[in-house]
Amino acid sequence: MGMDFERPEYEFLKELGLQPRNLGCYGDGVWRGNGSSVTSINPANNKPIATVVEASLEDYEESMKACVAANKIWMNIPAPRRGEIVRQIGEALRSNLHLLGRLISLEMGKILAEGVGEVQEFIDMCDFAVGLSRQLNGSILPSERPNHVMMEVWNPLGIVGVITAFNFPCAVLGWNAGIALVCGNCVVWKGAPTTSLVTVATTKLIATVLEKNGLPGAIFTCVCGGAEIGRAIAADTRIPLVSFTGSTKVGEIVRNAVNARFGRCLLELSGNNAIIAMDDADLNLVVRSVLFAAVGTAGQRCTSCRRLLIHERIYHDVVVSLLDAYSQVKAGDPLEEGTLLGPLHSQASKNNFKHGIEMIKSQGGKILTGGSVIDHEGNFVQPTVVEISHDRPVVREELFGPVLYISKFETLEEAIQMNNSAPQGLSSSIFTRNPEAIFKWIGPFGSDCGIVNVNIPTNGAEIGGAFGGEKATGGGREAGSDSWKQYMHRATCTINYGKDLPLAQGINFGG
């Protein structure tokens, strides 16, 4: 099978340390690979780019043994020093921002601006983590007993397993690894098999930083592989926390495996995100936001807008403007300037799109625009808008592609009920200038999602806030705010510095 790797426009791959054949396991500071070979495919033309030899279970075990040993060294390094290492990782990413971003665009299929933006997100997380490394503070609590002090102490968990999905093959690692490392944990990463080149290239940058500082490479371990490696991570008692990003179906399997050994699970699963347009909404803002949220990344973000709920008074105007905006979307090679819609990630994704359109039509959905596969060698589909009743079963499911369901409503209460009717609870947004509507929306009787926006899209979250959702989205929180606490072990410490032994609650036990 011929490789596109040798094409002149792919020369940049060599600058990232990639070759036509790459080893996919970095453990104990050594690259190895004794598992299956997978071929990375360019979704824009379905031609092979390069191959990666995945980790075998034996490779995984050898790597984990080294990781356990390295963890004793890493957690003993002061947090600010660990922050300096993460700062250097951020600098390595910054130096390769456009190269790595171009690889993400090539292998995943998102447009170049989004590929570069994804690497920037990892860089931003490194910057955040550096500051955090000097602020991993506990608490001093008042004790009811004389000559006693009570405090909370935070310590590393040990090893954090990170399993990421194809749609964000770099950034989601950054959400987890930046914080996990400054908190004193080693990281074991399994990227998606279909974006293995991004996994290998990113790991090479991180490994270079560790080597330059004379630190064990096993502090950061990479194990490319499929479900077999994922199951090993989920079942491994040496990994106290597993962060999994993917579908709700697979997330449930991971959760059950981790829970069975009383481990911790951080889940970022499916989304079914809605935008509500109230009758006082800025229509231009609504249309621009929906276009980015529903068409960006070809609808393959967990935060992509799947449902647009429009007040009946402005329904016609919004639909007309939206269809006009859709008609101007340029689909094509994600690496070309001006492209807004790249391909779906795989042929399987394209087939799921076709099946989803059939289901939509069978349940009374009316295709207002799009609805077809584009006749092209790549995995291109038309951005699609569907008019459909919000209570149809297909609307409750996440169709991972550029498909937008639109429905109308009469009252804010009805719109909130429609938003909350989805099994998933990741992101949501309302467009209004009414303070009463805004504060109801963000309050206890408003959106039940983990991300509750006003006058911005459902996607494109900043790293400073905690990212995650409720219900079938999994309940995990990553990135900013106090998400760091999930990567550490909290201990409540009571110290008696006196000579007596007063007991709590005033208990007298034979004294």
Name the strand (E) or helix (H) holding 223. Answer: strand 220-223
For residue 205, which phi and psi values (nearest 5 degrees)? -65, -45
Q: Indicate the DSSP class of residue 56.
A: P
For 256-402, where are the E strands, in sequence order?
Answer: 264-268, 273-277, 305-311, 366-369, 384-387
Are 385 and 363 spatial neighbours (Cβ–Cβ below 8 Å)?
no
Plot region of 501 (φ>0 → left; ψ -120 to 50 → alpha; else → beta): beta
CA distance 347 to 341: 16
CA distance 18 to 198: 10
- Token pair belonging to 172: 């989601």
Are 46 and 378 spatial neighbours (Cβ–Cβ below 8 Å)?
yes
27 pairs with which residues across the strands?
Answer: 30
337 contacts: CB under 8 Å, gap ≥ 6: 112
Plot region of 505 (φ>0 → left; ψ -120 to 50 → alpha; else → beta): left
Pairing of strands 25-27, 37-42: unpaired
- Token pair belonging to 445: 């009787």
CA distance 253 to 260: 11
What positions carry a catalytic annotation? 268, 302
Cα→Cα distances 120→46, 105, 170, Å:
27, 14, 10
DSSP 3-state of 193? helix
